[in-house]
Structure 1
Amino acid sequence: MSKTIFITGASRGFGKLWAEAFLKRGDKVAATARNTDALNDLVATYGDAILPIQLDVNSRAESFAAINKAKEHFGGLDVVINNAGYGLFGTIEETSEEEARSQIETNVFGLLWVTQAALPIFREQKHGHIIQVSSILGIATLPLLGMYNASKFAVEGLSETLSQEVKQFGINISLIEPNGFATDWAGASAAQTQPLEVYSDVRSAFNEANSAEGVFGDPDATAAAVLKLVDAENPPLRLFLGKHALPWAKNVYEERIASWEEWNDVATAAHGI
């Protein structure tokens, strides 16, 4: 049975790739972008099956209007994918107030506005699936991506909480957590802070680690996984994409648990009773 999908950030990268994967198999797609001209090729190929919607997710009013437009146009919604977002590269010290606020506004509040807009529709229908595009960097961290890490940690906490609140209404929540993929996320889509020379060694180490062969996955290979997630009767709360994510997460949690256990006597004494 075909589904109706609403996906943000569909002008490039994962968003456009997944939108086309849905369209190819016969789903209907409301695809949002700041510039909908980037969707002209999909409209030419798939016609009425795709509804391009101009959207800046930073606007709560626009987000609600876009969700409602898609619902009215197609008669309902089955899946909402919050994919819009970008990476800010730079150390914490280098990050300006404007850069920090912009990163959180888009990656966290933009996702929140679209999520809030979808929930009343899904509650009324008694079904729906919200998929949040997070990252392995919502579980682990890398230097030079502090504000991006922070935004994805926020998305993880928000979405896990939401899953507990809305399960009773037949609404599923999933977090997609990719490791690095060869999209333009770190290129044209990214923002950069003004670098400080004192962090040149950190930058060099970061660039060297990310130039190694096999670090980045093939974006095209993710489409099949996303289709399976959308079609799952009982979708998971979390889904990694890529072969590096799970080993990395295991290592991070082993280190955390070891540290917590080492300091558990102090923690227990702090309870007081």
Structure 2
Amino acid sequence: MQKTIFITGASSGLGKTTAKLFQSKGWNVIATMRNPQTETELTQLENVTVLKLDVTNPQELKETIDYILTHYEIDVVLNNAGYGLIGPLEAFTDEQIKMQIETNLMGVIRITKGFTPYFREKKDGVLINITSSFGLIGFPTCSVYSATKFAVDGFSESMGYELAQFGIKVKIVAPGGIQTDFAGRSLDGAAHEAYGQLVAKVSEGYSPEQISNYSKPEDIARVIYEAATDGKDQLRYIAGKDAHALYDERAETGAEAQVQRIKSDFVF
């Protein structure tokens, strides 16, 4: 029987790549995005439905989920929509902080809540949430971004316990750097003169040379496909060599030793 995946943030980058991979594997794909009228690639693919969805709009989100559950049988939900708010905390406005939380955290919570009754009645389903290596390990200029991704990680673990009794699996895919336009299209930020040296040091990680070492979106999409189809009762899937390196270092040396190691790079 043909399966169906629902994806948020499918207009570009990892979301679009994942939609194309699942379609190529014979799945039905419901690809959602804020501006579907500009989408020209996914709309040409068989068994792909493109729908409008802004995850920060609770009413639109409810209406979209109601429509989907009336017309489709869903097997996997992928919470992928998100962006990075990068910079020193002092530089951010309240509106920037609120929008980061609304998109990266509240969108995931609302979508999970929207699909949970359906999966509970079905006694089956997989919820996959995209976090980040910075949802497992903090990093300078990523305070609010990491706060949302750490929150999604904790939310996912808690929901995994809550929904296990109904046969529902909750999973996390935590990528490191990805060679997409995330560093341009999917970043917001602000500057503060007191943090010039620190920002310059962090920015070295976003140089063309460094980005060329990041994972390709196709590699991360394959990890998502594995999480969706392997049948394992596994919570976290670390994706990318850089993410594995950071995650393994913390496991081997301990969190405090890693914190001190990273901190030493940013004391001037």
Q: Conserved in 2, the CA contact under 8 Å of 1:229 and 1:235?
A: no
TM-superposed CA distance for 1:235, in Å, is 4.3
1:77-134 deviation digits (Å, cap 9, x = unpaired): 1000000011011111111111111101110001111110000000111100000000
Q: Which secondary structure state, in structure 2, belongs to the residue aligned with residue 29 of structure 1?
A: strand
SS in 1 for 2:241: coil
2:106 aligns to what? 109
Matches within 5 A, 1:138-153: 138-153=135-150
Q: Structure 2: how far apart are the matches of 1:61 and 1:235?
A: 33
Hey, what's the Cα distance between the residues in 2 that align with 1:235 and 1:61?
A: 33
- In structure 1, the gaps of 5 or more residues are 260-273
Q: What's the CA shift string for 1:133-184, capped at 9, x where partnerless?
A: 0011011122111110111011011110000000000100000100011111
Check conservation: 1:4, 1:29, Cα contact below 8 A. Answer: yes
Find out whether 1:19 has 2:46 as its counterpart: no
2:204 aligns to what?
208
Q: Which residue of 1 aligns with 2:263?
A: none
Hey, what's the Cα distance between the residues in 2 that align with 1:107 and 1:229?
20
Q: How far has the Cα of 1:2 moved from its partner?
A: 2.6
Mark the CA change 1:38 to 1:175 in structure 2 (over 3 Å): closer, same or farther.
farther
Which residue matches 2:79? 82
Amino acid of the structure 2 residue aligned with 1:136: S
The structural deviation recorded for 1:64 is 2.2
Give the equivalent residue in structure 2 for 1:36: 36
- The residue that corresponds to 1:269 in the other structure is none
1:224 maps to a residue whose letter is: R
1:196 CA drift (Å): 1.5
| Secondary structure, aligned partner of 1:124 | helix
TM-score (norm 2): 0.90
TM-score (norm 1): 0.88
Which of structure 1's runs of 4+ aligned residues deviate more than 3 A? 212-215
- Residue of structure 2 equivalent to 1:93: 90
Residue aligning to 1:177: 174
Q: Which runs of 5+ in 2 are unaligned?
A: 259-268
8 Å contact kept, 1:131–1:174 = yes
RMSD of aligned Cα (Å)? 1.8
The 5 A counterparts of 1:258-269 are none
For the 8 Å contact 2:175–2:220, the answer to whether it is kept is: no
Equivalent residue letter for 1:56:
D
Q: Distance in 1 between matches of 2:257 and 2:200?
A: 30
Secondary structure, aligned partner of 1:93: helix
Identity of aligned residues (%): 36
Q: Is the 8 A contact 2:214 2:242 kept in 1?
A: no
Q: Paired residue for 2:194?
A: 198
**CA spacing shift, 1:201–1:10, aligned 2, 3 Å:** same
The corresponding residue for 1:52 is 50
Task: Provide the C-alpha distance between the structure 2 equivalents of 1:121 and 1:153, rounded to a whole number of angstroms.
Answer: 26
Deviates more, 1:221-230 or 1:195-204: 221-230
* Residue 70 (structure 1) aligns with: 68
Rg: which structure is higher? 1
Distance between the aligned counterparts of 2:39 and 2:116, measured in 1? 26
Deviation at 1:30, TM superposition (A): 1.1
Which range moved further: 151-160 or 207-216? 207-216
Match of 1:265 in 2: none
